[in-house]
Amino acid sequence: MNFIRNTIAVLVGLGIAGLIITLGIRVFPQWITFEAFAPFEHWQRFLYSMRGDNAFFGFLLFISGLGTTVGGVATALIVKYAKVAYAILIGFIMLFIAMLDVIVFPYHPTFYKISIFLTFFPFSWIGGKIVEIIYERNKKKKIADKMNKTK
């Protein structure tokens, strides 16, 4: 049962991270150079048109970090054990997808190629730690409440 729960948690975390990143790109209409929403179909042409715009790639790093953090939080909330490890798994999978993007589409600037390594793992770890800290505080609070009731 834990395997199914953990698999669903990872898929939910990846879906949330992907949704946040996709919606983040759509925030600024001047960046969107295509009519229909089909990100995979137009991605190469879009990256080619953005190749000199470092602000876009900086924002993409920011929104990727935010999406990975929220995806890590969602994953850590769903799994029962090893919350931080599963959140980091979200970061690893997102890094793998970003590396495939960099390899397949060569229009990314060098700072982006380097910074993706510094974005996905730390932010997914932060997402897992947020949930772990909240759970630990609640656990300590419950123990303290039990101790106070027995007195």
Domain range annotation of the chain: 2-150
**Residue 70 CA: distances (Å) to CA of 35, 85, 123, 130:** 29, 15, 9, 10
Neighbour count for residue 23 (Cβ, 10 Å): 11
pLDDT of residue 124: 92
pTM above 0.95, yes or no: no
Residue in the block written with tokens 């850590």: 76
Inter-helix orientation angle 83-104/2-25, to 10°: 50
Q: What is the pLDDT of residues 12-71, one digit of tens each?
A: 999 999 999 888 887 776 666 555 555 566 677 777 777 777 888 889 899 999 999 999
Rounded to 5°, the CA angle 93-95-98 comes to 115
3-state secondary structure of 42: helix
What's the full length of the chain, in residues? 151
For 85, residues 6+ apart whose C-beta sits below 8 A from its C-beta are 128
Which backbone phi and psi does 35 adopt, to 5 degrees? Answer: -80, -60
Of residues 43 and 137, the one with the higher pLDDT is: 137
pLDDT of residue 148: 80
Q: What is the pLDDT of residues 77-100, one digit of tens each?
A: 999 999 999 999 999 999 999 999
Of the chain, the percentage scoring pLDDT greater than 90 comes to 48
**Residue 50 CA: distances (Å) to CA of 33, 45, 47, 60, 132:** 10, 9, 5, 11, 38
